A and B are shown apart, each in its own frame.
Chain A
Amino acid sequence: GNSVTQMEGPVTLSEEAFLTINCTYTATGYPSLFWYVQYPGEGLQLLLKATKADDKGSNKGFEATYRKETTSFHLEKGSVQVSDSAVYFCALSVTDGYSGAGSYQLTFGKGTKLSVIP
């Protein structure tokens, strides 16, 4: 089956520190990978995505590279701000290898809470 494992939080960093949130996956078929962010009391926002091996998704200073050899999609940011405090979810969807049909469903990790202190 499909599964996503994220590093457990909470993660607490000082402003301007380097951020890494680890994400690894298992998948049947060809996975596409996503990072979502959830600010307190809100819904999820799509942060970035990658649809094939070695693709790098980037947005708002965040980056993640789809590594097929290590089945990973780690989220990084060079210098975090207080406004980055949120919960981050890694997710995958799978395209069937035979039919090429994409799945409607996403498989989510459990989320990693990030707190950035001034």
Chain B
Amino acid sequence: DGGITQSPKYLFRKEGQNVTLSCEQNLNHDAMYWYRQDPGQGLRLIYYSQIVNDFQKGDIAEGYSVSREKKESFPLTVTSAQKNPTAFYLCASSFKAGLIYEQYFGPGTRLTVT
């Protein structure tokens, strides 16, 4: 089955530790994205990548880092510099349908930092 996998579903860390969230897709999509979701705030874009070895900052990139060494994988590192890291993190990928890019989402990782 084609899709986007994120692991783990729940992640707990102590304050001051870096943590890496996994995102893998087997849809052969070129572009991948990371979003953060907080209650009442909707989705906010952290980073996105159009192709391998290239990525761009989104609206809230501070305190986060990414890499895109393979087309299938786009891991997100939440660093200790992120002031309020507890949130639900969603990974997405997209393909071009005509002139637009349709985004498809993974199941999410809920990160709790104490």
Which residues of chain B from 26 to 61 have any CB-CB distance to chain A below 8 Å in the complex? 31, 33, 40-43, 45, 48, 50, 58
Whether the Cβ atoms of B42 and A49 lie closer than 8 Å is no
Compute the total of residue contacts between A and B using a CB distance below 8 Å: 55
Cα A110 to Cα B40 with chains together (Å) = 6
Q: Does B63 contact A (CB under 8 A)?
A: no
Q: Does A46 contact B (CB under 8 A)?
A: yes
**A94: nearest chain-B partner, CB-CB:** B100
Whether the Cβ atoms of B40 and A43 lie closer than 8 Å is no
Q: Does A32 contact B (CB under 8 A)?
A: yes
**B109: nearest chain-A partner, CB-CB:** A43
Question: Contacting B100 at CB < 8 Å: which of A36, A43, A51, A109?
Answer: A51
Which residues of chain A from 64 to 114 have any CB-CB distance to chain B below 8 Å in the complex? 89, 93, 95, 100-106, 108-111
Cα A42 to Cα B98 with chains together (Å) = 28
Known: A51-B98, A93-B100. A104 touches B31 (CB 8 A): yes
Whether the Cβ atoms of B102 and A49 lie closer than 8 Å is yes
Chain B interface: which size bin? 20 to 34
Chain B residues in 8 Å Cβ range of A43? 4, 6, 90, 105-108
Whether the Cβ atoms of A100 and B103 lie closer than 8 Å is no
Whether the Cβ atoms of A89 and B98 lie closer than 8 Å is no
Q: Does A44 contact B (CB under 8 A)?
A: yes
Chain A residues in 8 Å Cβ range of B107? 42-43
Q: Does A59 contact B (CB under 8 A)?
A: no
Whether the Cβ atoms of A46 and B102 lie closer than 8 Å is yes
Q: Which 7 A-B pairs have the closest CB atoms?
A: A43-B105, A110-B42, A44-B105, A32-B100, A102-B99, A108-B43, A43-B107
B residues neighboring A (CB under 8 Å): 4, 6, 31, 33, 40-43, 45, 48, 50, 58, 90, 92, 94, 96, 98-108
A residues neighboring B (CB under 8 Å): 32, 36, 41-46, 49, 51, 89, 93, 95, 100-106, 108-111
> 25 A-B residue contacts at CB 8 Å?
A43-B4, A43-B107, A43-B108, A44-B43, A44-B90, A45-B105, A46-B103, A51-B98, A89-B42, A89-B43, A93-B100, A95-B99, A101-B99, A102-B96, A102-B99, A102-B100, A104-B33, A104-B48, A104-B94, A105-B48, A106-B103, A109-B42, A110-B40, A110-B41, A111-B42
